[in-house]
């Protein structure tokens, strides 16, 4: 590549990062200030009553969680699409959503809320996700973490766990499962705000670690044989990346439920714009995933106001339409 072409590529990448940053900042402002002017929002930040109370109890916590969950799902999507060599892979490909769903459903059945209160859903959701991770990890280890085998094991695990969830639903009173259904569709409003300080480091730490695997992901995307020749041990790399992305996805699910398409659409779109280098793609996908989920949450709150939709429904609609557009336009 000539110096001129390299310079143009760098300028283009810089422009994309600037655009993503502006979009993200705009979505944050919109999430905090919808229906109010900026001066009211600024005054509310320093107030403990009126609109200030709404900001502190509702809008700021939801915006923070949407930023963390959206960004985390974005980087998980990039990582899994690379190690599985499948542009349509997403954070839930490895069966984590099915395990988390079962954990939440069991929590409702045995009424863990009476024992753990606000901690019940996050704890049981992550426990279910962890069970799924252990199952898929154990099965994949027998196949030396072959990408095709990992996908198949993840699909089977998800189907089995989801079938158990539907079986339990068929036996119980639908009214008792309303909160569980909302969580399964993705809900940023149900998490107790007292848990957010714990989730901030838990969600940031694994995402930051993944940023340092950009070069390894570049090599792994070339295939197992070439990775060996270039000094990367694929089974070990797959093992490490599998654990990090799975745990991070499990934390996202425990905090906000199952929010689809963020980890699929955002990396897929940005990969076509930025290109293959994963270091840049990881950072861009974090910004893009955060923007996509925050703006989707704004739509979920105000599209049918005063009725509030689960944010997973909005990401599913937007993500499905974007994916359909890409598939019909792509040669």
What is the per-residue DSSP string for 3-47?
A: HHHHHHHHHHHHHHHHHHHHHHHHHHHHHHHTTS-HHHHHHHHT-
**Which two tokens mark 93?**
């490909």
Task: Identify the weakest region by mean pLDDT among 66-80, 111-125, 130-144.
Answer: 111-125
Average pLDDT over residues 272-295: 90
Give CA separation, 236 vs 50, 92, 144, 245, in Å: 54, 21, 9, 14
Given a cut of 70, is residue 1 above it in pLDDT?
no
CATH topology of domain 63-329: ABC transporter involved in vitamin B12 uptake, BtuC (1.10.3470)
Write the Ramachandran bin of 85: left for phi over 0, alpha for psi from -120 to 50, otherwise beta. Answer: left
CB count in 10 Å sphere of residue 280: 17
Positive or negative torsion for Cα 54, 55, 57, 59: positive
Positive or negative torsion for Cα 55, 56, 58, 62: positive
Q: Using N-to-C axis directions, what is the helix angle for 278-302 and 311-329, rounded to 10°?
A: 130
Confidence of residue 2 (pLDDT cuts 50, 70, 90): low
Given a cut of 60, is residue 331 above it in pLDDT?
no
Given a cut of 60, is residue 96 above it in pLDDT?
yes
**Which two tokens mark 215?**
């070069």
Give the CB-side neighbour count of residue 137, counting CA atoms within 13 A. Answer: 18
Asked if omega into 247 is within 30° of 0 (cis), the reply is no
Dump pLDDT digits (tens) for 311-326.
Answer: 988 998 988 888 888 8
What is the percentage of the chain residues whose pLDDT exceeds 70? Answer: 96
Write down the pLDDT at residue 220: 81
Asked if 83 and 218 count as a contact pair (C-beta separation under 8 A), the reply is: no
Distance from C-alpha of 311 to C-alpha of 183, rounded to nearest angstrom? 10
What are the residue ranges spanned by the domains of the chain?
Answer: 63-329
Dump pLDDT digits (tens) for 185-235.
Answer: 888 887 888 889 999 999 999 999 999 998 888 888 777 777 777 778 777
Write down the pLDDT at residue 302: 84
Dump pLDDT digits (tens) for 262-277.
Answer: 999 999 889 888 876 8
Closest by alpha carbon to 97, among 273, 309, 316, 294?
316
Given a cut of 80, is residue 297 above it in pLDDT?
yes
Distance from C-alpha of 63 to C-alpha of 329, rounded to nearest angstrom? 33
What is the per-residue DSSP string for 180-243?
A: HHHHHT--SSSS-GGGHHHHHHHHHHHHHHHHTTHHHHHHHTT-HHHHHHTT--HHHHHHHHHH
Asked if 77 and 271 count as a contact pair (C-beta separation under 8 A), the reply is: no
């Amino acid at each position: 590549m000539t110096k001129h072409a390299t310079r143009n590529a760098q300028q283009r990448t810089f422009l994309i990062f600037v655009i993503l940053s502006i979009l993200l900042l705009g979505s944050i402002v919109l999430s905090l200030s919808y229906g109010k002017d900026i001066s009211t929002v600024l005054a509310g930040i320093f107030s403990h009553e009126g609109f200030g109370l709404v900001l502190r109890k509702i809008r700021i916590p939801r915006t923070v969680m949407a930023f963390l969950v959206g960004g985390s799902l974005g980087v998980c999507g990039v990582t899994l699409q690379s190690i599985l060599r499948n542009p349509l892979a997403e954070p839930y490909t490895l069966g984590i959503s099915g395990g988390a769903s079962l954990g939440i459903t069991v929590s409702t059945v045995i009424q863990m809320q009476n024992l753990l209160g606000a901690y019940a859903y996050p704890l049981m959701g992550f426990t279910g996700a962890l069970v799924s991770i252990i199952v898929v990890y154990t099965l994949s280890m027998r196949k030396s973490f072959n990408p095709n085998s990992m996908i198949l094991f993840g699909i089977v695990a998800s189907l089995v766990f989801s079938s158990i969830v539907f079986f339990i639903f068929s036996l119980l009173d639908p009214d008792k499962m309303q909160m569980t259904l909302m969580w399964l569709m993705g809900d940023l409003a149900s998490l107790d705000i007292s848990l957010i300080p714990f989730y901030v480091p838990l969600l940031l730490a694994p995402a930051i670690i993944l940023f340092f695997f950009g070069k390894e992901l570049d090599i792994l995307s070339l295939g197992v044989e070439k990775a060996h020749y270039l000094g990367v041990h694929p089974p070990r790399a797959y093992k490490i990346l599998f654990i990090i992305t799975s745990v991070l996805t499990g934390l996202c699910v425990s905090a906000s439920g199952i929010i689809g398409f963020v980890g699929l659409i955002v990396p897929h779109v940005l990969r076509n714009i930025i290109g293959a280098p994963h270091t840049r793609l990881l950072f861009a996908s974090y910004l893009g995933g955060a923007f996509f989920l925050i703006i989707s949450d704004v739509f979920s709150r105000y599209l049918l106001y005063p009725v509030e939709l689960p944010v997973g429904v909005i990401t599913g609609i937007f993500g499905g339409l974007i994916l359909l557009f890409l598939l019909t336009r792509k040669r």
